[in-house]
Structure 1
Amino acid sequence: MRILIIHQYLWSHYKGKIYSELQKIVNTHKNDELLVLQTSLNEITRANLGPVDRSIHQYNYQVLVDDYYENIPNTTRAKKMLYWVRKFKPDVVNISGYYEPAMNTVLFYCRLVGIKVIISVDSTEEDKPNIWWKEAIKRFVVNRAQGFFCYGSKAAEYMLKFGAKPHQILLENNAVDNQKIASIYKEAYQTRETEKAKYGLRPFNFIYTGRLMAIKNVANLLIAFAKLKPQNWGLVILGDGAEGENLRKYVADEQLEGVTFIEGQAWYNVPKFMALGDVFVLPSYSEPWGLVVNEAMVGGMPVIVSNKCGSSHDLVKNGENGYTFNPYDTDELAAIMKKFVDDPDLIKSFGAVSQSIIKKYSPEQVAQEMYDGFKKVMYEHK
């Protein structure tokens, strides 16, 4: 079985780990071969999050263009993708998403020549406003594929809505490098109090990590925190972005105490800063999954996650390891945050449940489910 995966950019460290685990599985089957096409090195919006670490990409791959993804015309992407499809002669191709012209060009070519196609899907119905004609195009594209790797149950529901069959849902999982994240977090935790003093942090802290963009809804997180006015709790905001200046201005104008901004970090440094917090909050208006929730749970943290984030439906057990909330309702968010302010003992018990839940969301498990999915499409649905 010859497997070809077409992905957008090499920077994705979490995909690098998953593909590396998939390569290990492929290597145990002498008649199998894997090739991953990385269209570009990175995307512009993540350019400040650290360089590409090629050491984590332990699998057979080709980078098609040495540039940012956004700078590559769709015609160039499509030509280079099709070149490798013809050269590698795969039995099954996995493309990323159903909305990019170049990826869809590959999909239709594969259908024409009889190559099986699996679409990776991270979108959910709640991601963006659904316009009827766009939904019609999605339905048409989705129904050309033989299988789907869905990053979460909500993404799977979306595909079923478009007409995918239940047996075509081959994966409902998403993962980070649990082992490495846990190791970095554990080491950083040993100097936690020293680092907290360095940044002038309070005894307990909520923490947000991610880009500072309007869709991330950090403004409402600040509003919710302002309603609490807790004495022993602070709020750490780790990240950079277009909304950074506005958020800092709000804190200054409202004379909001206990809020600490820290500049964005490379992915391998994020767990070090995550160790400074006690409860992780992801307030996004829209988030296909939100892998930073995985990272927080690997570190044994309770999580408060917007119900518009895909991971909230799979990773958050309300009242056990965290809570979900309506991102437009700052009173609801404040009330949830107050539960931890009033009873800090919840941190340890909720964190232990987080660690238990996240064990099955590992790159090894995702890779195995992907391999099983490739086999299923190849041999069971001819």
Structure 2
Amino acid sequence: MKILFTKSGSSPYRVDFYNELGKHIELDVLYEYRIAFDRDKSWSLKKAHNFKEYFLKSFHLFGSKVISFGFTKYLKKDYDVIIVGEYNTLTGRLITLFLSIKKIPFALNIDGGYIKNDNWLKKKIKTFFISKATWWLSPSVESDSYLKYYGANENNIHRYPFTSVFEREILKDILSVKEKDDIKSRLGIAEQKVIITVGRFIKSKGFDILLKAFSQVDSETGLYIVGGEPTEEYLELIKEYNLKNVHFIEFLNKDELANYYKAADLFVLPTRKDVWGLVINEAMAFGLPIITTDKCVAGMELVENKGNGFIIPIEDQNELSKKMNVILSDNKLRNKMALNSLKKIKQFTIEEMAKAHLTFFNKIVKNK
């Protein structure tokens, strides 16, 4: 079976997935460009071992806009299934139009999505491109609704578990207090309780809300924000709220970050908007209770209120501080949530992600 994926740029978690999928099929991946312009340079790329990768010649237009050409020679090859990974890039739209005009069936893959209050023109454009696909690959209930809203046929929507976590990376059990204390000691963490968050320092991540909410958390708790140097806004908030025990950690690779997850007691992502949020998957793999918002699609799919964490409204610092205190002050609840996170995330591994795609491919090929 020969499959083609098209994607904007390469990323570590996608390469892991392609390598796993490529163990079972002949897989080609066509990239619009080599690496996203807004990513940390340390966001290193992994190697293609079980698939072939091709990079289009790209041209940087303005801002982060890129356009790439030369894709038609790849799309004309004899593939059993073509999966388009972008509909909102210029090149992704050109690829969609080409396949549609040539009447070549294809699947549209999305990594998540939620319905927004688009103006009529934006909705028209999204509907035009999303509805062109023959099949759709979706990671969640929320994403299903998104696709249907923009013209997808619900009978041809196929589900897959979106993740960046291998089965072997999931803890077998929650760590003991002694194990956590040993890791804290190695990392130089002095606080009794640890809250961790991970992400780029951009407004949409809601770290300003987290800092404000942290002012109402017990003073023996440390807040570790992993992602780089603090912005001027964050430093001003620390001064304004007289915050102690706030630590900014530079960008860490997956292995380095693992120790901070293991040392933590709670993971918080107060995002204002995230079409998925893979850090939720990663934190759950280390047995962490999760607090995130109703605009985080990963949270909506993976977090059960009071089960393995809490879903809160966006920009609600009072509710955030309340829920952080509930989890941090109750060891029994925290351990229950930790175990539930480990149980849930076992269904969302790269191996399971590959299996779901193989099931989809076999179904399509069988019905051709």
Query: TM-score, length-normalised on structure 2?
Result: 0.90
Q: Out of 79, 95, 102, which is 1:106 matched to? A: 95
Equivalent position SS for 2:331: coil
Partner of 1:145: 133
- Residues of 1 paired with 2:27 and 2:189: CA distance? 49
1:58 matched to which residue of 2? 50
Residue type at the aligned position of 1:344: N
| 1:68 CA drift (Å) | 8.6
Q: CA deviation at 1:321?
A: 0.7
State the AA in 1 paired with 2:334. I
**Structure-1 separation of matches of 2:263 and 2:58:** 36
How many Å separate the matches in 1 of 2:328 and 2:165? 31
CA contact (8 A) 1:36 1:60 kept: yes
Query: Which residue among 73, 93, 104 is the counterpart of 1:83?
Result: 73
CA contact (8 A) 1:235 1:259 kept: yes
Distance 1:132 1:89 in 2: 38
Provide the rounded CA distance (Å) in 1 between the counterparts of 2:104 and 2:321: 52
Residue of structure 1 aligned with 2:39, choices 30, 46, 52: 46
Secondary structure at 1:46 match in 2: coil
SS of alignment partner, residue 338 of structure 1: helix
Shift of 1:258: 2.0
- Conserved 8 A contact 1:122-1:152: no
Partner of 1:132: 120
Displacement of 1:256: 0.7
Counterpart in 1 of 2:28? 35
Q: Secondary structure at the match of 1:90?
A: coil
Task: Give deviations 1:218-242, integer Å, cap 9, x for gaps.
Answer: 01011111123x033221111126x
Quick one: which amino acid aligns to residue 33 of structure 2? Answer: S
Deviation at 1:192, TM superposition (A): 4.8
Secondary structure of 1:367's aligned partner: helix
Q: CA deviation at 1:49?
A: 3.4
Q: 1:1-382 counterparts in 2 under 5 A?
A: 1-10=1-10, 12-26=11-25, 33-54=26-47, 57-65=49-57, 73-74=66-67, 77=68, 79-86=69-76, 88-126=77-115, 129-179=117-167, 181-182=169-170, 192-193=180-181, 196-197=184-185, 198-228=187-217, 230-240=218-228, 244-380=231-367
Aligned residue type for 2:23:
K
Which string of whole-angstrom CA distances, capped at 9 and with x for unpartnered residues, describes residues 166-204 of structure 1? 221112421113345447x999x9975355345343111
> Contact 1:340 / 1:347 at 8 angstroms: preserved in 2?
yes
- The one-letter code sitting in structure 1 at the alignment partner of 2:181 is E
1:43, 1:300 → 2: CA distance? 30
Deviations, residues 96-138 of structure 1 (Å, cap 9, x unaligned): 1322221122222223333211111134234x54121111111
Q: 1:153 to 1:49 in 2, by over 3 A?
A: farther
Between the two proteins, what is the percent identity of the paired residues? 24
User: By percentage of residues, which structure has more helix?
Assistant: 1
TM superposition shift of 1:67: 9.2
Work out whether residues 25 and 368 of structure 1, in 8 Å CA contact, stay in contact via their aligned partners in 2.
no
Report the CA distance between 1:71 and its aligned residue: 6.9
Mind listing any 5+ residue stretches in structure 1 that lack a counterpart?
Answer: 27-32
* 1:36 shift after superposition: 1.0
Provide, for residues 222-277 of structure 1, a one-character-per-residue CA deviation record: whole Å limited to 9, x for no partner. 1111123x033221111126x62321231133221121111121233222222221
In structure 2, relative to structure 1, the CA distance for the partners of 1:325 and 1:186 (3 Å cut) is closer
Q: Structure 1 residues 192, 42: CA separation in 2 closer, same or farther (over 3 Å shift)?
A: farther
In structure 2, distance between residues paired with 1:204 and 1:65: 49
Gaps of 5+ in 2: none
Contact 2:170 2:342 in 1 (8 A): no
Q: Distance in 2 between matches of 1:66 and 1:145?
A: 24
SS of equivalent to 1:54: coil
Amino acid at match of 1:142: I
- Give distance in 1, aligned partners of 2:335 and 2:100: 52
Provide the rounded CA distance (Å) in 2 between the counterparts of 1:357 and 1:341.
21
When structure 1 is superposed on structure 2, of 218-227 and 247-256 the one drifting more is: 247-256
How far 1:85 sits from its partner (Å)?
1.6
Q: Are 1:50 and 1:267, in contact at CA under 8 Å, matched by a contact in 2? A: no
Alignment correspondent of 1:29: none
Q: How far is 1:296 from its partner? A: 0.5
Q: 1:367 to 1:175 in 2, by over 3 A?
A: same
- What is the identity, as a one-letter code, of the residue corresponding to 2:221? W
Root mean square deviation of aligned Cα: 2.7
